[in-house]
Amino acid sequence: MDAMGQITAFAFEQKKHYLSNMTKSSVKTRLMNKAVDYLGRYATSQHQLREVLGRFALRKLDTHDPDKIAAAISATVTRCQTLGYLNDDAFAQSQARRHRRQGRSKLGIRQRLRQHRLDDTIIDAALNTADQHSANSELLAACRFARRRRLGPFDCKQYDDAQNRQALMQRQQRQLRSLARAGFTMAVSQRVIGLEDGDAAEILMDQLEQGQDPTV
């Protein structure tokens, strides 16, 4: 090969190297930008972020080597952890507290957190943190669930059935099944359904929130 051919070959190899690095840099940058944008709007777990980045790559980076994309996604997730944008423990605790306020049972919360591929150690710690100030967190959550769904003492229509014992029992059975599907035990569900009225339920909830459990 003459000198001109050597120069041309060298220039071609340099161009390939430059384009390869530019592409690699572009992929990492786009993945990081997507990750930061998503984390800026939503609290999430490592697993969920991987899913988001994977769907983004399928739509926007489908011309690139899948193995390199997978490695770039892993690197992006690791970088987000290092920078403090991503923390599975903090995410689990935040979710557990939020679900407890919404009246979710321990079983229901555990199932939701497992969807994020969180291990039981992280989930147990999150539930303990969410429940640390309540005397009976499961009963408190069941009362909140009943209030949100207008069950038991919060169900105004049940008083219309008070004169019809069979109708009232059927209504309460349906409500017990609703609490059971939400993950509450029969004992907890019966306590809630058996409360006299909404005022009695609100008083019980206040006591439980203050660390008292008059039902013990």
Tokens (6 digits) for 175: 């409500």
- Distance, CA of 100 to CA of 130 (rounded, Å): 7
Confidence of residue 39 (pLDDT cuts 50, 70, 90): very high
107 alpha-carbon distance from chain centroid: 14
- Distance, CA of 97 to CA of 109 (rounded, Å): 10
The residue ranking higher by pLDDT, 18 or 36, is 36
Q: What is the DSSP letter of 105?
A: -
Q: What is the DSSP letter of 158?
A: G
CB 49 within 8 A of CB 38: yes
Confidence of residue 1 (pLDDT cuts 50, 70, 90): low
Q: Using the CB atoms, write b or e for 126-159: b if 16+ within 10 Å.
A: bbeebbeebbbbbbbbbbbbbbeeebbbbbeebe
- Distance, CA of 100 to CA of 98 (rounded, Å): 5
pLDDT (tens digit per residue) in 164-190 = 778 888 888 999 999 999 999 999 999
Which pTM was predicted? 0.79
Tokens (6 digits) for 23: 């592409």
Q: Is the pLDDT of residue 91 over 80?
A: yes
Tokens (6 digits) for 211: 């660390």
Terminal alpha carbon distance of the chain:
93
Q: Which stretches of 42-105 are DSSP H helices? A: 46-60, 66-82, 88-101
Q: What is the pLDDT of residue 162?
A: 59
Q: Which stretches of the chain are DSSP H helices? A: 3-41, 46-60, 66-82, 88-101, 106-114, 120-131, 137-149, 165-181, 186-193, 198-209
In terms of Cβ atoms closer than 10 Å to its own Cβ (0-12, 13-18, 19+), residue 214 is: exposed
Please compute the mean of the pLDDT values over residues 73-89 and round it to a whole number: 96
